[in-house]
Structure 1
Amino acid sequence: MFRNLRLLKSNYQINKKSKLKTNTIYLIKSRNFSHITSKHKSFNQNYNINNEYFTKNVRNSSILAAISEKSHLIFTKLSESYPVHIAQDFLINFHDTTGLPWWATIIGSTCLLRACVTLPLGAYQQSIVAKLENITDEMRNIEHELKAETALAIKKFNWTKKEAFVVYRRSLKKQWNKLIIRDNCHPFKTTILMWIQIPTWICLSAAIRNLVYMLPNLDVQAQIIFAELQVGGFLWIPNLTIPDNSYIFPFALGLINLLIIEIQLASKLKEQKKIQKYLTNFFRVLTVALVPVACTVPSCLCLYWVTSSTCGLIQNLILLSPKIRYLCRIPATKNNVSHPYQLVWNKLKQRLTFS
């Protein structure tokens, strides 16, 4: 009996050991298999990541290709447009008529256009701005009168506040329109300089670019003009078809444009509103961003930009003079000062000392 029990016990132990062995083998196999599956999963994940990265690169490259193609089409259409053709013919005829070298042609034609077009429009714009300032002051008195009349009407006709406000706003707008018609100073006219100056700047820039790259037609005249531009420079830029390697013109462009912004800001007595501050900062950033662009364009194009900005600076300074404003029939306002240049100089010095 004890012998059978021992045999049973030994068999049980053997079976237990065999089970343990099989379990350990199963665990080892399962671990190996899980390791393989984890490797397979990581491989799949890496494959998916690489595949996504590849597809993203393909999409980005296709987007960049589409953008470059569209920009090329825009520049092509711009160079072949009729206004650019007129500007290009104007430059060529000015050069042929005067017999000046190309650097003097660019400077002379820019100053001529600024004097004949931009300066009169600038004076007209200043006149509209002055008239709007005066009727704004006049509207304050009218506004007080309308408020008093509206308060009486509320008591007399038993109007609600909403009805009274609607009538008040309608009457105020009617009086404002009457003053605008009387002085012929619609606010949209204050943007007339922008609508003329910016397209002119773009067309002349595109026309000079056409002369450098012999566009839109590669004919004998275009090749002759290109050869003249190569030898039509001066001082440190004898070749007008290559960028200014001294970076004198690009940095001069940035400084002149910043000076224009600061002079316009210093010549006003009123404090700027929030939107005006944002616009001023935007133009400052745009001016700084234009400097590296000017470092890469042909020097003849950069010469035009510097000349145009210099003329704009002189124009702003001229229109600050009380005598010039009187000759141009710009109405006087309560914000006018007798010594505007002294005011601008003091404000600029104050700004520089604080910075």
Structure 2
Amino acid sequence: MATAAALFSRLCRARPSSSLSLLSPPRVLSSPLPPPLPAPASPHSPTLAFLDAFRSRAFSSHISDNREPELNSFGVDSPLNSELLKVIADTSGGGEDDAVFPVRAAISMLESFHDLSGFPWWLTIISSTLALRIVVLCPLILSLHKLKTIGEFFPKLPPPFPPPFSGKSYIRQFLFFQKKRKAIGCPSYVWPLVPFIVQVPCFFLWMISIRKMSLDGHPGFDCGGALWFQNLTELSHGYSGFIFPFLIAGLHYVTVQISFRKPLVAETRDIFDLLAKFYKQYLDFLTIPIAITGFCIPQGSQLYWVTNSSLTLIQQITLRHPAVLAKLGLLDNSQKGASEQIAASKTAPSPGLQDNIPTAATKETVSPEKNPLDSPEKWHRIPIEEMSPKELVTLAVPFLNSDDKESAIPLLKLALDKDPDYVRALVLMGRVLLLKHVNDEANEYFERAISKLSLAGHSADAEEVDLLILSSQWAGIACERQVKHIVL
């Protein structure tokens, strides 16, 4: 009866005062009768018949100071009036907290998956996140194929924008770039943005949906967790409350470092590399706000965020492995050929037996005046010992641009054994040792390269000038590290 009384009071407040004066029952039987209602236009009018029945019931009730007899006289407990009051309450106060359609659809999908699988809610969140990442992996692989094609056509294309202070029109230069790009069949430069356009909305949609389910106390969320996060609707608390926020921030930071790992010989030469550098610094700074945000969201959202970040890290590591890239058809031709050469050299027979085993030939013969490494499709599978220093350095460059930099060291050492004054091999060898923090040996290679270039005098060759600049800079870095090591 208390619920019915509350609904009736809400209904009375919603009605105008004129209706209340007609509908309110008299409190004292001795009060004069209200004036008779005007004659209805139709003798069978339902509204007036209802009011007439209500008035007769009100005067036949007992005297009482509480409202319960009055509600009984109004017939609140009848099924029809209960439904009427429920509809009025829903229309007056409901519908304000309804989610948008994508969020409702995501919640419905999660509920269906939970009912179908029978998993607890924590396992439902993890498995649904894994399924979502598998679905959005297809656009990522497609965009990587397009990006590989763009990289192959990039040297043949003019720059999309003119150099600064050149006086050329930006619009004309961009139109000229678009014309050349379409002429040679290069994909659009929008393809690298496809993973961002697809994955980011999906991440926020799942995040908002799980957050709403947690805050609304979705059935089963209060006991659908595990370990220290039994209640998925609560915020982090206690010493265990630091686990999820710090784990989210740590996964974000590690993923950024792996994603922006630059090639060995790549330098900041244009505006795009500079923008990438600043963007990486911005993402590094976001680690602290992300950790703070982790304390402000329910544990259900934290569980989803940790799962998504872990899958992102696994994806970044997997897509950088040469075997996976080869399976997906994303391995660069030069790097693919270099891997085959290294594998062949590791399984090469001893020199005494090598004369009795014929060397496998490739599809067609390369002319002797052309460098075999310029066309990976036409490579001979020849022993590494028979290659020239230039060919060995060219073979080592793909490994310097990948994560397998150790494989480049034997090639560079062999090139320097054949030609100790080969400047490019000296600079690259010093760079590898500098990255390994072997500063003394790196400085020796840089000094040999600098002395060789200095003795050659002024050169108009742009490559030699670049090598002199790089070797001087890296030699300074090696000397600075040596001084710091001595001081410490």
TM-score tier, shorter chain, comes to 0.5 to 0.7
The match for 1:259 is: 254
**1:7-26 to 2 correspondences below 5 Å:** none
- Cα offsets for 1:163-208 (capped at 9, x unmatched): xx67x99588546544356445211111111111111111111111
The match for 1:293 is: 293
The match for 1:248 is: 243
The match for 2:414 is: none
Distance 1:239 1:261 in 2: 31
For residue 207 of structure 2, the aligned residue among 205, 208, 212 is 205
The match for 2:465 is: none
Change (3 A) 1:332 1:294: same
Change (3 A) 1:113 1:170: same
Contact 2:263 2:402 in 1 (8 A): no
**Aligned pair 1:91/2:110, yes or no?**
yes
Query: Which residue identity is paired with 2:131?
Result: L
- Cα offsets for 1:45-87 (capped at 9, x unmatched): xxxxxxxxxxxxxxxxxxxxxxxxxxxxxxx999621111221
The match for 1:72 is: none
- Cα offsets for 1:198-220 (capped at 9, x unmatched): 11111111111221122xxxxxx
Alignment partner of 1:187: what SS?
coil
CA displacement at 1:254 relative to structure 2: 0.6
Q: CA RMSD in A?
A: 3.6
The match for 1:8 is: none
TM-score, normalising length: structure 2: 0.44
**1:54-73 to 2 correspondences below 5 Å:** none
Query: Which residue identity is paired with 1:230?
Result: D
The match for 2:279 is: 279
Distance 1:181 1:93 in 2: 49
Percent of pairs identical after alignment?
24
Alignment partner of 1:266: what SS?
coil
Change (3 A) 1:171 1:244: closer
**1:82-231 to 2 correspondences below 5 Å:** 82-117=101-136, 119-139=137-157, 173-174=175-176, 177-180=179-182, 182-214=184-216, 226-231=218-223
Distance 2:98 2:405 in 1: 44
What stretches of structure 1 move > 3 A for 4+ residues in a row?
76-79, 168-184, 333-344, 346-350
Contact 2:157 2:180 in 1 (8 A): no
Distance 1:349 1:230 in 2: 51
Determine which structure has the larger helix proportion and give its number: 1
CA displacement at 1:92 relative to structure 2: 1.1
CA displacement at 1:311 relative to structure 2: 0.8
Change (3 A) 1:337 1:114: farther
CA displacement at 1:130 relative to structure 2: 2.1
- Cα offsets for 1:279-325 (capped at 9, x unmatched): 11111112321111111210110111111111111111111122322
**Aligned pair 1:302/2:302, yes or no?**
yes
Distance 1:284 1:172 in 2: 33
Change (3 A) 1:181 1:235: farther
Contact 1:240 1:299 in 2 (8 A): yes
Contact 1:241 1:298 in 2 (8 A): yes
CA displacement at 1:336 relative to structure 2: 5.1
Deviates more, 1:322-331 or 1:260-269: 322-331
Change (3 A) 1:123 1:181: farther
Distance 1:178 1:78 in 2: 53
Change (3 A) 1:329 1:78: farther
Change (3 A) 1:317 1:228: same
Change (3 A) 1:306 1:185: same
Change (3 A) 1:181 1:85: farther
Distance 1:96 1:174 in 2: 57
**Aligned pair 1:235/2:227, yes or no?**
yes
Distance 1:307 1:250 in 2: 12
Change (3 A) 1:308 1:343: farther
Change (3 A) 1:338 1:228: farther
Alignment partner of 1:204: what SS?
helix
The match for 1:151 is: none
Change (3 A) 1:179 1:327: farther
Contact 1:253 1:306 in 2 (8 A): yes
Matched length: 244
Distance 1:179 1:276 in 2: 24
Unaligned runs of 5+ in 2: 1-94, 161-165, 335-396, 407-431, 438-480
Distance 2:97 2:279 in 1: 28
Alignment partner of 2:220: what SS?
helix
Query: Which residue identity is paired with 2:235?
Result: P
The match for 2:27 is: none
Unaligned runs of 5+ in 1: 1-75, 144-160, 215-222
Alignment partner of 2:260: what SS?
helix
Query: Which residue identity is paired with 1:262?
Result: Q
TM-score, normalising length: structure 1: 0.60
